[in-house]
A and B are shown apart, each in its own frame.
Chain A
Amino acid sequence: MDKDLLLIENLRGYYKGIFGVVRAVDGVSLRVREGEKVGVAGESGCGKSSFAQLITGTTMPLLHYEGGAVRVNGYDIWKISPEVLRKEVKCKLISYVPQAMLNSLNPVKKIKEFIADMLRERTGCRYSVKNARKVAAQHFERLGLDANVLDLYPHELSGGMVQRSIIAISTIASPQLLIMDEPTSALDVSSQKKVIKMMIDIQRKGVIKSLVCIAHDLSALNQLCDRIVIMYAGKFVESGEGDDVTGNPLHPYTKALMGSLLPLEKETKYKSLSSIPGVVPDLRYPSLGCRFYDRCGRRMKICKVEDPPEIIKGKRIVKCWIYKKGGL
């Protein structure tokens, strides 16, 4: 139960192109234990999706791995050969669920044909479409999806169904760790509910062991995950138990995030929303100090010049100078 499933140490990944070098993920560390559900939250552009790609070992063309370790079950993702990564790690140990763009599935293949391809590729055996459909139907129904979806083409499905099918496809081989990138952002509320329910189900039913969910909706993450990590400008700024972080945010950014969320309680009906002034820093030229400096309401002189340390108290970690002197 306390065994570490995923261990990330000082992971760095930069975008390199003619625009320069963008330090999208600049030294993050994370520990995910078996049976844990971790949520990673932050604004758009803070590096969450890049982080997800770096964990899986497959990045979009411009994103480059720069350093750090990502360890799963004895494998260091970035040190093993691509073939070992493909055969042993992907789908079996770590699986990835992208945001439900309608183009995430091959538009000219029926879902069952795609799954048949996938099984053939992974196992090296000849899988007929019929057999693949049997296997997939079993798995789909276990997760509460209509198996007849398998006979359709991706463009015949609605966004919510595509997302749920993708979750099902990614978990066919019962991976130990599932990484989800903004699973509900592109969906309407009722589909979101179904997806969240499915995410709870797959862990409860033992299809996966641990979950890392990346989103910007803190309240949804809180419902789903045990632990929440807040990410800003390529670094983790706070982490802790879900209710703890959302109920008692410590880092100024987290506080500002909570303040800008749409509250659903009746009493707060007339409270105005606050937004965080300023914009996300240009990560081509990150400052040496705290990256939240320009937008922080509680900044100090030292925040500008030195990167804040991580202060640990029990299960909470905060990366902020405020808590250095007196402790939490």
Chain B
Amino acid sequence: MKSIEYNEQLERDVLAALSKPSPWYWVALVVCALLFVTGLSLWLYQILKGMGVSGLNNPVGWGTYITDFVFWVGIAHSGTLISAILFLFRAKFRNAFNRSAEAMTVFAVMTAGLFPLIHLGRTWFFYWLFPYPNQRGLWVNFKSPLVWDVFAVSTYFTISLIFWYTGLVPDIAIVRRYATGFRKKIYSIFSLGWTGSLRQWWHYNRLYVFLAAFATPLVISVHSVVSWDFAMSIIPGWHTTIFAPYFVAGAIFSGTGMVITLVVPMRKIFRLEKLITINHFEKIAQTLLFTSLIVTYSYIVEFGLAFYGHHQFEAAHFTYRLLGDYQVLYWIMLFGNSLLPLTLFVRKLRRSIVYLFIVSIFVNIGMWLERFVIIVTSLAKDFDPYAWGLYKPSVVEIGITLGSFGMFFMFFLIFVKVLPVLSVTEIKEEAAHE
């Protein structure tokens, strides 16, 4: 067909999702919002009563909240991988996913950013983590990995937001054309008065390339910085140089899993099967498999280093991970992260949407458990056996974790009704090249 017909059909297909929501949508949104509000109330309760409402104790000072933090930052990374890195590699299949993936990144970073505040004993002084001039002449400790986190996550959030927004501007201009009344005004404002002129596209292209170029080292550095929250410590299981690449690979792995979890139902509900095809999914599945192999390799290396190095504490620790109090979680993690993805070597399974969805759920669970196991087992049994103690998440921690999921999905649900879930402009551009 002629390209203009194709383009207009494309617009209608994508923007159909922005139509009046079905009752099921409202149900889903309300459920997510309720979870979110419950999470917030539990957080308020925790601030008023103290961190004791969680299951944390001596020696396990970090638990569910830090797991959630690392988990959500990890989810965010996949979005940037798909948007930025695949863009630099000119991987065409990214167009089916990149808008949702970028949205996922922004929402995941927002969710992740709450957790450093949630896990603080005196949350009301959180702003002391930022360096600002004050009467006391006190700045922050730039040697602390937590301060690196502040800078890395803030940068990541800012750049991701800018990147997502930049990509959205031409698409918002499209929605503007179809919108009416008050909504049209809003879209007009947010599209900044975009006309699609030569001058605008000229600078836009450069900006997009530069942002992608900035975002790429950001993906690697941010999760490396987050992993250094652990690697800069001295306790066995944390104190290892492999953490940075291990965590980055894990982040991309978990994020890819979450992309599949989000996009499979979204595609079905909004009837986007023609635009997001099985070939696209197969490519994502290959990414999943590849990063799973890297993660598995990291597990093997961890164990190898511990035992080959004849290091008493490391060996004792890894034995504890495999056979100790949390071994069930460890084995589930191994299954979800290392074993199950191996089945994706089979082409038929790679091309089955249902199977991919199931695998992605296991990947999400497995990766959450991986962070939990790393954090809790290292703290539960470290150098001084007198101090050993176990940890179990409390109702408040579970509630806040569920609240974070509620928040993330709530934002995502709002996103699908307000903005196009596919990068329409880029699809048009790709179609024109064929």
Does A associate with B in a complex?
Answer: no
Residues on B facing A (Cβ under 8 Å): none
Residues on A facing B (Cβ under 8 Å): none
